[in-house]
Structure 1
Amino acid sequence: MDLFNSALGRNITFVRPAYFIISGFFGIPNIKYYYVFLFFVYIVSVVGNTVVMAVIFLDYNLRTPKYIAVFNLAFVDLLGNSALVPKVLDIFLFDHNYIPYNDCLTFLFFCYTCLSMQALNLVALAYDRLIAIIFPLHYQVKMTHRFMLSLITSLWVFIITFVLIAVGLLTRLSFCKSVVVNSYFCDHGQIYRLACNDYTLNSHFSTVLIFVILWLPMVFILLSYSYIGYALSKVASVKERVKAFKTCTAHVSLVAIYFIPILVTFTMSSNIHPNARIINLSLTSIFPPMLNPIIYVLQTQEIKVSLKKTLRIRTQSKIMVKNVIIK
């Protein structure tokens, strides 16, 4: 124990709390209406992402590198909201705000992994659009199924490793003061700031984590679209420019929905009430997974055609079954 205390850097007793208390939404007026809204968002998210995954899986024409990334995004959105929203409702709606230590770290791991993977998946889709527009004649060679699967797998391995390191660093902290986490979930930053021993390493790693899952993807996407815009400006026909840009509208919408609320919230965080900040941050976590499938269904012609085709086949099948039964 003495050796461990010296490793902590202070002569204190190591304390691992039995539980953390999540206090985020408590004390906000009329917050139960927000819980109803969260439940509605979750149901729409589950239905929408399940539909997108089913359509891509069932339609052989959609089994392209681009839609492998879209399928993965729908899966991440479904997994992320399923990890976050039901637990948040359980914590605040049923007053189960005492979360055991290990459960809290597990909750943190799944939330951060899914939120981070959403951003990295947008990078994969941006790269797909970049190759499709800049190198249209070589797209089939450069963007293969194997390449996209390898890219998606690498991103999963990378972000899981990164988040595991963040969680592992939390286990070296001693919590001998407060165990109240002022957030709507087991937030990494809020937890390590509760420690009573040195959390400098956690703070530095948190900065790296934000850079990797927020700023780096955003910069890559902005640079890729700047390059796409420059390439399209060289195209003589306005009709060709519009046609090429239409293939990017769904992805641009996803990028805007994901990054703009986060940037606005962090930029204005010092000027807004803590309760408003918590609600804004929760909306940035749960809203994109709900809107992503809606955007892809409405703005992507291939998915709309496939969905109509699937619904038409199911309707015809039901009519045939009824006719057989009547006969």
Structure 2
Amino acid sequence: MNGTTAQRHYQNVLQVFQDYYQLTKPRIIPLLLITTAASMAIASAGKLDPLLLLLTMIGGTCATASAQTINCIYDSDIDYQMERTRHRPVPSGRVQPLHALIFAIALACISFAVLAVFVNLLSALLAMSGIAFYVGVYTHLLKRHTPYNIVIGGAAGAIPALVGWAAVTNTLSWTAWLIFAIVFLWTPPHFWALALMIRDEYAKVGVPMLPVVTDNIATARQIWRYTLVVIPSTFLLIYPLHASGVIYGAIAFILGAIFLKKAWVLLQNPNDKQLARSLFLYSILYMMLLCAAMVVDSLPLTHHLIETILALANIIRG
């Protein structure tokens, strides 16, 4: 084999790996995993077993990747019609649907095996329910048939929080369900901001996203209403659940204030795609930093630091 042929073969192998990697929509996965980590941190009171975290992340990654791959197969027809998605592996023809399906099934099997064997059965079953809900309910039943697809479909993206809690405790508590609810309520304003940005593309392929079937004003109004609900809900972790404390509360307050401001500005200018883009990008940062705050607040070191500060304050007052 000459050098040119060897180089071409090497490039082809790399392209195959890259195509299958792209099938999983890898940019979505970290955001889902950080909700898992946050839930695990609170469930373990900040004393998280690194191996348990790693195994849960592996299982969660494979489950999410499986669901996204099946979504790529199912939506390949509309992906081909949109310039933004036309070059994805399946609509472009670089990966055959059958091969992608085999890949998705393999990922689901790996996810279930890792979680069931090394974590617990409840977390494995929850991960599988996430795949089933995302594919069966959101992608098949809702996405092409109702403008409120993402409202109900958002439950699929919130399930990783339940997986994380179950991984640590092998149960589900009110706190776990609240974290689920926070992600669930955050999803519509996050996704509708994106829909405002690419409204014309959704209209072109007949996907009835909210701004397509109503208008930008109605969509911005819904974004504002959901934001008014999700921001207060984040403080329920402090009271009445007492799952998080002052550090989380301070960060959640600042992040929430910025979110409300951006949603309000968009409400005043619903046709401004740059404002929609700004809200969309911030919503991602918001969820990542909010979950990071949950983790930091749960750490024993944080609790010790707060106790020390309070003790010093009492000495100064005293």
Q: Which range, TM-score by smaller chain?
A: 0.3 to 0.5
Name the structure, 1 or 2, with higher relative contact order (CA <8 Å, separation 6+). Answer: 1
Q: What TM-score, normalized by structure 1, do the two folds share?
A: 0.34
Q: What TM-score, normalized by structure 2, do the two folds share?
A: 0.34
Bigger radius of gyration: 1
